[in-house]
Amino acid sequence: MNNGQTKSIVLICKSDVILTGLTEVLKGSLADEIIQLHRGDEIIDYPEMTGNILVIATTEEIEKSGGFIRQILSDTGTIQFLNIYLEANSPHPNSSVNIFDSPALICYKVNEILNSFAVIQPRDTDTELTKREIEVLKLLTKGYSNKEIADQLFVSTHTVISHRKNISEKTGIKSASGMTMYAILKKIIDVSEIDTADLI
């Protein structure tokens, strides 16, 4: 569902108390990782971050360092910003959170955004398999390992893995036996070519 993309939260706030409290609350969210910063520009310490990122900060902080954060994290997936309001009763739009909201509500709003990442992500424009991917798929259905396929095609194992990932993304099929079924139904291979007993 999430195409193996991690979901991280970057919390930015000057107050350690608020950072700690929010982190506790967001432990119940779908985030794989939560990073705490006092200022937006401290993101410079995390250039290797990957996956989808939700930045939670005050409106002023986002205005000030949003651009810089995008620049540093330019290699990652989706980056989204969520405004956080720190005063009780301050009027705030529905698309933001207030630290006086109930923890369940904060978590819910954050999860809604984290969930939406998976929807934005898939590139379903291009679902045709390439020639190379078809070759890899054929070998997969014969039960070869990534290493064996790499040797046969004179490429690295890493390349084979990335072909596999692309095949899964394009077809929506993840398991090895599912791929075999796909290949048969799409007439890429013939049933007689494989030993259905142990593959499917």
Instruction: Find the shortest distance in angstroms from Cβ 32 to another protein.
Output: 13
Q: CB neighbours of 48 closer than 8 A, spacing ≥ 6? A: none
User: Which of 36, 38, 37 lies closest to 14, judged by CA?
Assistant: 38
3-class state of residue 76 by DSSP: coil
Instruction: Find the shortest distance in angstroms from Cβ 67 to another protein.
Output: 29
Spatial separation of the C-alpha atoms in residues 50 and 28, rounded to whole Å: 21
Closer to another protein by Cβ: residue 159 or 171: 171
Taking contact as CB under 8 A, which single stretch among the options 8-16, 26-34, 44-52, 66-74 is the one that binds another protein?
26-34
Show the CA angle centred on residue 150, arms to residues 148 and 142, nearest 5°. Answer: 45
Instruction: Find the shortest distance in angstroms from Cβ 64 to another protein.
Output: 29
3-class state of residue 199 by DSSP: helix
Site string for another protein, 30-69 (x = CB under 8 A): x---------------------------------------
Q: CB neighbours of 161 closer than 8 A, spacing ≥ 6? A: 146
Instruction: Find the shortest distance in angstroms from Cβ 63 to another protein.
Output: 28
Of the candidate residues 27, 123, 132, 165, the single one contacting another protein (CB under 8 A): 27
Spatial separation of the C-alpha atoms in residues 107 and 89, rounded to whole Å: 19
Spatial separation of the C-alpha atoms in residues 86 and 84, rounded to whole Å: 7
Instruction: Find the shortest distance in angstroms from Cβ 131 to another protein.
Output: 20
Q: Which residues bind another protein (CB under 8 A)?
A: 1, 24, 27-30, 103-105, 107-108, 111-112, 114-115, 171-175, 177-178, 181-182, 184-186, 191, 196, 200
